[in-house]
A and B are shown apart, each in its own frame.
Chain A
Amino acid sequence: NAGVTQTPKFRILKIGQSMTLQCTQDMNHNYMYWYRQDPGMGLKLIYYSVGAGITDKGEVPNGYNVSRSTTEDFPLRLELAAPSQTSVYFCASSGSYNEQFFGPGTRLTVL
Chain B
Amino acid sequence: AQTVTQSQPEMSVQEAETVTLSCTYDTSESDYYLFWYKQPPSRQMILVIRQEAYKQQNATENRFSVNFQKAAKSFSLKISDSQLGDAAMYFCAYRPGQGGSEKLVFGKGTKLTVNP
Summed over the interface, the residue pairs from A and B with CB atoms below 8 Å come to a total of: 48
> Which residues 78-94 in B have Cβ within 8 Å of A in the complex?
91, 93
Contact of A94 among B42, B45, B102, B106 (CB under 8 A): B102
Contact of B43 among A45, A99, A100, A104 (CB under 8 A): A104
Q: Are A99 and B103 in contact (CB under 8 A)?
A: no
A77 within 8 A of B: no
A61 within 8 A of B: no
**CA of A96 to CA of B106 in the docked complex: distance in angstroms?**
19
**CA of A48 to CA of B106 in the docked complex: distance in angstroms?**
15
**CA of A43 to CA of B4 in the docked complex: distance in angstroms?**
12
Interface size on A, residues (CB 8 A): 24
Chain B interface bracket (under 10, 10 to 19, 20 to 34, 35 or more): 10 to 19
Q: Which residues of A contact B91 (CB under 8 A)?
A: 42-43
Q: Which residues of B contact A97 (CB under 8 A)?
A: 102
A-B residue pairs in contact (CB < 8 Å), sample of 29:
A31-B102, A33-B103, A40-B108, A40-B109, A41-B108, A42-B4, A42-B91, A42-B93, A42-B106, A42-B107, A43-B45, A43-B104, A45-B103, A45-B104, A48-B101, A50-B100, A50-B101, A58-B103, A90-B45, A94-B102, A99-B35, A99-B47, A100-B102, A102-B45, A104-B42, A104-B43, A104-B44, A105-B43, A105-B44
B residues within 8 Å of A by Cβ? 4, 35, 42-45, 47, 50, 91, 93, 100-104, 106-109
